[in-house]
Every structure is written in structure tokens, then in C-alpha cells.
Amino acid sequence: MLDRQEEAHGQEEAVCVGCGVRITERWFSKTQEGMWHSACLRCSECHQPLEEKCFAKHGHLYCREDYFR
């Protein structure tokens, strides 16, 4: 499940789960897997951006359609 986007507070270094690059943007997305650039948060299946809704399964993220497929 996707928490609402949170402000980075400069705690520990935020590294994007998707691309492994440090997140320097002020806004990022956070899931159970970790933190993501907004641009990296995409469905593993159809690669559409997952800004509003995302579903995690086996360490991958899916849009609603692919998750429930």
C-alpha cells in the first residue's frame, strides 16, 4: 500500500528501491518496500506510473488491474 507522499526530513539517506539512486527530491513515495522517486514508482507489468494507487506483491509493485489479475 502506498502512504501519502511524505516530506523528506533528512533523516537517514533515502535510497530509491526502484533505481538505487539516492533521493534528493523533497517529495518521494514510500511503500512497505522502501522509498521511491515518484517517477520510479511504476507497475512492474504495464509500467504505468503509480501515483495514486499501487499494490505490492512479492517485492514488486503493480497497478490495480495487474495486481488482481
Binding site for Zn ion (CB under 5 A): 16, 18-19, 37, 40, 43, 45-46, 63, 66
Cβ 46 to Zn ion shortest distance, Å: 3
Question: What is the spatial order of strands in the sheet that 34-36 belongs to?
Answer: 6-7, 27-31, 34-36
Q: Which is nearer to Zn ion, 4 or 46 (CB)?
A: 46
In angstroms, what is the minimal distance from the CB of 54 to Zn ion? 9
Positive/negative CA dihedral, 59, 25, 63, 52: positive
Task: Say how far apart CA 54 and CA 62 lie, in whole Å.
Answer: 6
Minimum CB distance to Zn ion smaller for 10 or for 20: 20
